[in-house]
A = this chain, B = another copy of it.
């Protein structure tokens, strides 16, 4: 079948929400692990040492009410903690009609602009310049065709070979369970996508990225997408734990703020999800939750 059934859509949406819950729980557990004793050794502001471990706050939003071309909504989860300076996890399930000038650019929407889309997306910016920032997204899109997409990529401020290997191996293992060619293909796609052309430099050390995945088996593609979401935790949590107790210098912090500028440049200049969302009247607060809390272009 080229179109997903209502049951498949509901199943995918429910999974994205379930993954969100697993990730939020894992991130809150990391906040707990950064004990007051460890926090006391880190170069953070006094008011942060005394704060309790961070917890996610949730905020629901809906698309324009009464507009048949714009239905659904989502939930933003945001945490500002001792370890996570700012992490946003958005789930959304939206449907309606693509604006005419966009419909022609979307697979399967050329003749019929109606769409349904559901997904979870996450960006984490850490207080420590030694703990990499990270992005993860998985999504299911339905037009007259239907497909899955997703991926995750790591953005260290100071690249570390062990971290890069840890991150990539977890993704490779998830890919290999499904297709021996997936990892190489989706790693290359990630390197190509997360690239700042104007600076001729990659955003970070990569990961995997895939889009328009439809092998003919909805079950297989959904199973792969679930495994990518779960592999994200296997890929990222060990990297965080390896560095979360390491103190840093003011120079390292300043370097982090400058590198975050590159993140902003990428998201506003190149990221298709960002420009697409902003130009189609998406929820601005949810879309721009990915921007870092403090940034410098010195």
Where the two chains meet, the residues of A that have a C-beta atom closer than 8 Å to any C-beta of B are 80, 86, 197-199, 257, 261, 264-265, 268-269, 275, 278-279, 284, 288, 291-298
| B261, A291: Cβ atoms closer than 8 Å | yes
| B293, A296: Cβ atoms closer than 8 Å | yes
**Assembly CA distance A80 to B297 (angstroms):** 12
Q: How far is the CB of A289 from chain B (nearest CB, A)?
A: 8
Nearest chain B residue, comparing its CB with the CB of A200: B284
Q: Contacts A268-B268, A269-B278, A284-B199 given: A296-B297 contact, CB under 8 Å?
A: no
| B269, A275: Cβ atoms closer than 8 Å | yes
| A288, B297: Cβ atoms closer than 8 Å | yes
Residues of chain B within 8 A (CB-CB) of A198 are 278-279, 284
**Assembly CA distance A296 to B199 (angstroms):** 23
**Assembly CA distance A269 to B288 (angstroms):** 12
Please tell me how many copies of the chain the complex holds.
2
Nearest chain B residue, comparing its CB with the CB of A266: B268
**Assembly CA distance A257 to B293 (angstroms):** 10
| A293, B288: Cβ atoms closer than 8 Å | no
Residues of chain B within 8 A (CB-CB) of A86 are 297-298
**Assembly CA distance A190 to B164 (angstroms):** 47
Nearest chain B residue, comparing its CB with the CB of A297: B291
Q: A264-B264, A292-B297, A293-B297 are in contact. List 20 more A-B contacts (CB 8 A).
A: A80-B298, A86-B297, A86-B298, A198-B279, A198-B284, A199-B284, A257-B294, A261-B291, A264-B268, A264-B295, A265-B268, A268-B268, A288-B297, A293-B296, A293-B298, A294-B295, A294-B296, A295-B295, A295-B296, A295-B297
**Assembly CA distance A257 to B197 (angstroms):** 27
**Assembly CA distance A257 to B291 (angstroms):** 13
Residues of chain B within 8 A (CB-CB) of A279 are 198
**Assembly CA distance A268 to B198 (angstroms):** 12
Nearest chain B residue, comparing its CB with the CB of A295: B295
Nearest chain B residue, comparing its CB with the CB of A296: B294
Sample of 26 A–B contacts (CB below 8 Å):
A86-B297, A86-B298, A197-B278, A198-B278, A198-B279, A199-B284, A261-B291, A264-B264, A264-B268, A264-B295, A265-B268, A265-B288, A268-B268, A269-B275, A269-B278, A288-B297, A291-B297, A292-B297, A293-B296, A293-B297, A293-B298, A294-B294, A294-B295, A294-B296, A295-B295, A295-B297
**Assembly CA distance A265 to B295 (angstroms):** 13
Nearest chain B residue, comparing its CB with the CB of A268: B268
Which A-B residue pairs are the 6 nearest by beta carbons? A268-B268, A291-B297, A198-B278, A295-B295, A198-B284, A268-B269
**Assembly CA distance A275 to B275 (angstroms):** 13
Q: How far is the CB of A280 from chain B (nearest CB, A)?
A: 10
Residues of chain B within 8 A (CB-CB) of A269 are 268, 275, 278
**Assembly CA distance A165 to B291 (angstroms):** 34
**Assembly CA distance A175 to B145 (angstroms):** 56
